[in-house]
Structure 1
Amino acid sequence: MQGILGRMLYRAFASNVQTEIKTTHQPRDPLRFVTGCSGFSKTLSPGPQCSGLKKLTFGDDSYFIARDKTADVLGVADGVGGWRNYGIDPSAFSSSLMRVCEHLVNHGRFKPQSPANLIQDSYEELLAHKYPLIGGSTACVVALHKAERTIYTANLGDSGFMLIRNGEVVHRSEEQQHYFNTPFQLTVAPPEQEGHVLSDRIEQAAKTSYKVEEGDVLLMGTDGLFDNMHEDMILDYITKYKDRKDAAKESACHIAQKAHDLSLDPDYLSPFSMSALNFGIPITGGKPDDITVLVATVSCDHGL
């Protein structure tokens, strides 16, 4: 009798364990980005371009939003304004770099786990078609691997990203600068300037990866955003609009507008002016600049 009862109890226990294991290891839905974008050109007014996926530049800034079956990929780039001294339009390089990145993603010619390689491959295409394209830019790319529920990042220069969870920044990129207001940058120089202008390698980009959860918010921007808005300000806007129907779009538009307003305030103690003071440079006020803001809410992908 004890043997029969023992076998029955064991089977019941084993069945419960197997059920629990199956439940625990059920595959979770893949994730995706729901994205909004906004920005300003420092030379054009009035008003930002909100959530416009057809308008892919704001002054010398550029961005892309691309998707394939495995990943959603976002990128921002800021053309180096110093090239104007050579009669070159700085927006040409940044916009071309982002368009090639977008093209490679749309055609599946990339690995989500290596956004740095995506930037490198795009840069090499620009090198192969050097003329008439000359210039330089920063670059930041973030890829969300849908099934892995992981973002992979690569950042060269002073554009960047913040990953926000439950109203707090859980990860943030660090800007890369040679010296004050001179970021790391990719460059295509004319022969007579090669070796005489800054030209960094994509191997120098900061590369990271993070697990993400439904409800997380990824914010990306150029230095026009981060030089004019403190982190707590950005968090206030993300929190304020998080429950709206078009949360990503509204957050991006309001954050860009605020950054633009602050950039024109001569009495504001901006992140840019605080950084200048740390270098012994007496600068006050905001920093007039091109501004690009991407806000992406992490959501479950139900095959939509």
Structure 2
Amino acid sequence: MNFYESEDSQVQKALENFRKNLQIMHAAYQRHRGRCLVRISSYKGATLEQVYIMGSFTSPPWKVLIPLSYSITYKEYFIELWLSAESEFLLVKKDIKFALEAFPQRMSKLGFIANYIKIIKPANSNRKPSKCNIKYQFISEGLSQGKEPDINEDAFFCSKFAIGIADGVGGVKRDFGISSAAFSSELMKNCKEITDKIDASFNANFQTSNKVYLKGLNCEKIITQAYQKTNCGGSSTFLLISLLGNHLQISNLGDCGLMLIRNNGKKPIVVFRTTAKQHSFNVPYQISRKFTKLQLLTTSENNSQSFYIKDHWLEYSDCVSDADNYLISVQKNDIIVMGTDGLWDNLFVDEILEQVKVSCRDHMNLKEISENLVEMARARMNSEENTPFSEEISRKTGHSWVGGKRDDITVVVSYVDDA
């Protein structure tokens, strides 16, 4: 009996790897064709009426209705499509066609108003800050705990003007016997070194620091340079934020998450949150490196033919440029909660917001907030309570799941203060 269970498990694992590799190849093919993955979403409204999308990108154009999926966690209908610039679309609900405010609109060739893809990035990603003055800085505290006592594949760093978290992909250790902890740690270490140099420039020469600050603290440039300097092999998601004047720049690849909470002295409210970017359920976008010779010495699997076939796929990872990029306004005293999927898979957004509200009311410090969120997520992970992960796996697969997801948990809580 155990033999057949083991054989079935190996077949399932091989199929999952094959599916993942196909998705990576498909993404590379779409990027080669000049397309980008665009997330289109619509709030559900008062009822659960099915929402569809139609557009110029179907065959035939404007004749095919594609159903949107429904997210219980975010209470919205959504779809992710590989689209080219200038692609036009409308949403359809109960035979009513409507455009979204989040995307630009224009008169289509067929004579009606439609949304179109103007920028192949999330909305406002290339918008320039209205002012380049150094205005704000981060005050931050973070905590990271591994699901196992002897290893943690998450990593993070904090500085005055930038914060980053990375989640080493656990599937790499299952496939290769080598953890991604070294890869994610080196990636964040390199980010920290780059931002520390910029902080040093700011402190050394305040007169010219505005130019250094605006030029240097670009999230995509930071993560690109850090990735190029990373030597260890492995795979990881990342979430990087930086301050540009009174704007927050965000670069997110994979299933780490961020929530921006406005604390204006009344009732803290969520004004922005990121969404996960995944090839499919539980297969996040990620950047990778092939293993070093030193890493290969740590595994007994490195002589097998299947190992080298799998190791080859690490060369075909997603790209830094695949990240979702945002530029949004921030205010003094805004609170930012960042976390790896160990947080967001085990706690609902409303629960995290409530903890922040309680913390503000009780005048807790940032360290206490991050510790409380990690402990809450860990308790839920080992419980039989309902979680975002259990709801998502039920919706995606039709199978029931009890409790949370065992994972490393990293939480960084920050607030925006005067520089």
Q: Is the 8 A contact 2:387 2:404 kept in 1?
A: yes
User: Which letter does structure 2 place at the counterpart of 1:174?
Assistant: T
Q: Percent same amino acid at aligned positions?
A: 31
Does 2:417 match 1:296? no
Corresponding position of 1:4:
none
Corresponding position of 1:272:
389
How far off its partner does 1:173 sit? 0.7
Count of paired positions: 251
**Cα distance in 2 for residues equivalent to 1:268 and 1:181:** 20
Does 2:236 match 1:137? yes
Question: Alpha carbon RMSD of aligned pairs, Å?
Answer: 2.3
Corresponding position of 1:161:
258
User: Which letter does structure 2 place at the counterpart of 1:151?
Assistant: L
How far off its partner does 1:279 sit? 0.8
Corresponding position of 2:224:
120
Change (3 A) 1:138 1:290: same
Q: For structure 2, which runs of at least 5 residues remain unmatched after alignment?
A: 1-131, 199-211, 292-307
Q: Is the 8 A contact 2:289 2:315 kept in 1?
A: no
How does 1:135-284 map onto structure 2 within 5 Å?
Answer: 135-145=234-244, 148-166=245-263, 167-190=268-291, 192=309, 193-195=311-313, 199-243=317-361, 247-265=365-383, 267-280=384-397, 281-284=399-402
**Cα distance in 1 for residues equivalent to 2:364 and 2:242:** 22
Map Cα deviations across residues 107-148 of structure 1 (whole Å, 9 max, x no partner): 12984552022111111112xx3xxx2101000001023xx1
How far off its partner does 1:36 sit? 1.5
Q: Is the 8 A contact 2:340 2:411 kept in 1?
A: yes
User: Which letter does structure 1 place at the counterpart of 2:157?
Assistant: F
**Cα distance in 2 for residues equivalent to 1:161 and 1:196:** 27
SS at match of 2:184: helix
Q: Is the 8 A contact 1:112 1:152 kept in 2?
A: no
TM-score by length of 2: 0.57
Corresponding position of 1:21:
none
User: Which letter does structure 2 place at the counterpart of 1:42?
Assistant: K
User: Which letter does structure 1 place at the counterpart of 2:377?
Assistant: A
2:177 to 87, 97, 106: 87
Q: For structure 1, which runs of at least 5 residues remain unmatched after alignment?
A: 1-26, 46-57
How far off its partner does 1:160 sit? 1.6
**Cα distance in 2 for residues equivalent to 1:245 and 1:28:** 30
Corresponding position of 1:22:
none
**Cα distance in 2 for residues equivalent to 1:112 and 1:245:** 35
Q: Is the 8 A contact 2:195 2:217 kept in 1?
A: no
How far off its partner does 1:216 sit? 0.7
Q: Is the 8 A contact 1:39 1:253 kept in 2?
A: no
Looking at both structures, which has the greater relative contact order when contacts are Cα pairs under 8 Å and sequence separation is at least 6?
1
**Cα distance in 2 for residues equivalent to 1:178 and 1:227:** 17
